[in-house]
Amino acid sequence: MEVFPVIHTNVWDGVLAVPLVLLLTQIIKWITPVPKALIPSVALLLGLLLSILYSHRHHLIAGVFMGFFYGYAAIGSYSSSKNSWHAFKEKLRKKEHFR
């Protein structure tokens, strides 16, 4: 009996699942009054649901493991892009200020 599952990652995991979790999280954020503090939890829950119910429906441990990957990768991607955008805008603002 295997204790740890063999998890094969593919294009679905890195290129489709994480952006799908990110997109669904944004849609939920726009159409429902979810508090900002709970948005990362929503992304994590969506990642877990997507992984357990679709991607790895035949193995619960693999589904939970990859669900955390999907959710946290979406959270990190959003945070990184948001911080980069704010830093870029601040750089432009400072550049305009010194002209």
Residue with tokens 């094969």: 8
The pLDDT of residue 62 is above 90:
no
User: For position 69, what pLDDT does the model report?
Assistant: 92
CB proximity list for 35: less than 8 A, separation 6 or greater: none
Judge if pTM exceeds 0.85.
no
Residue owning tokens 């699942």: 17
For position 72, what pLDDT does the model report? 95
Give dist(CA 46, CA 21) in Å, integer.
6
Average pLDDT (46-69) is 91
